[in-house]
């Protein structure tokens, strides 16, 4: 499989995530070949054909020569709930610009409603294990929707009374509201994010976004890199991977 050209059709594609979220690729700079050429600039070399180029790229990732992978950049527009962003912003190698509730009013349905309710893991304080009984889950979902509706009614009431948007938003359920962000990251740091957030131990609400980015954008854009990534990173203990 050859690298995707800069004019690839991935740009502008949007993938649905969770109940109301999505990931859209806004821009892409570089390709597998850009990574190879960046590595060869050390001795002023150029492409030597697909076979040798791919072999070099695999060598780079296998031996953790990661700076050439920084020559490829992805820019996404992402809609996700705060419970997801709360973890995402820990990856400080990303560049973020977020929607502001000070300027834009929220819509009544801008809240995350989980498809299933997960139980707390008895052995891991920060993880879940198993699902709640469907009957109990249905009751909780009904309670959650009621909670959202009441909060939004108060939010609208405050706005109609002339309260500033920046203050009226405190009536909204904080962790559940969806925000849209523009996010940019290079391929090296994106792989580090993916190795951690695609892991089965990662929280579901961010894992689904990581999987969407990898399967729909990263892998089609960088087929050689993703093949090497799967071989040398994802088949190792991703909790201790250093990229």
Cα 198 from Cα 214, distance rounded (Å): 9
Backbone angles phi, psi at 219, to 5 degrees: -65, -45
Query: Are 188 and 69 contacting, i.e. CB atoms less than 8 angstroms apart?
Result: yes
What distance, in Å, lies between the first and last C-alpha atoms of the chain?
A: 25
Residue closest to 28 by CA, chosen among 211, 222, 224: 222
Look up tokens 């492409």; give the residue: 47
For residue 120, the cross-strand partners are 128
Residue 64 known to be catalytic: no
Burial of 79 (0-12, 13-18, 19+ CB in 10 A): buried
The one catalytic residue in 77, 102, 197, 207 is 197
Query: Are 57 and 32 contacting, i.e. CB atoms less than 8 angstroms apart?
Result: yes
Cα 202 from Cα 196, distance rounded (Å): 7
- Give the catalytic positions in this structure: 197
């Amino acid at each position: 499989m050859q690298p995707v050209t800069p004019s690839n059709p991935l740009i502008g594609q949007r993938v649905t995530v969770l109940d109301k979220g999505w990931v859209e690729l806004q821009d892409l700079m570089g390709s597998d070949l850009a990574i190879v050429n960046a590595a060869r600039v050390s001795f002023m070399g150029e492409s030597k054909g697909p076979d040798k180029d791919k072999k070099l790229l695999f060598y780079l990732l296998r031996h953790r020569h990661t700076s050439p992978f920084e020559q490829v950049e992805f820019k996404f527009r992402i809609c996700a709930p705060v419970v997801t962003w709360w973890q995402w912003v820990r990856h400080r190698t990303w560049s973020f610009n977020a929607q502001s509730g000070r300027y834009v009013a929220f819509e009544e349905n801008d809240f995350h409603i989980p498809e299933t309710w997960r139980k707390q893991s008895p052995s891991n304080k920060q993880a879940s294990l198993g699902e709640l009984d469907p009957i109990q889950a249905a009751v909780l979902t009904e309670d959650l929707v009621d909670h959202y509706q009441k909060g939004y009614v108060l939010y609208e009431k405050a706005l109609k009374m002339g309260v500033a948007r920046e203050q009226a938003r405190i009536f909204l359920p904080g962790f559940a509201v969806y925000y849209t962000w523009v996010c940019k990251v290079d391929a090296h740091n994106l792989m580090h994010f993916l190795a951690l957030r695609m892991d089965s131990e990662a929280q579901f609400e961010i894992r689904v976004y990581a999987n969407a980015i990898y399967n729909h954008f990263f892998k089609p854009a960088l087929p050689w890199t993703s093949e090497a990534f799967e071989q040398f990173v994802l088949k190792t203990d991703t909790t201790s991977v250093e990229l």
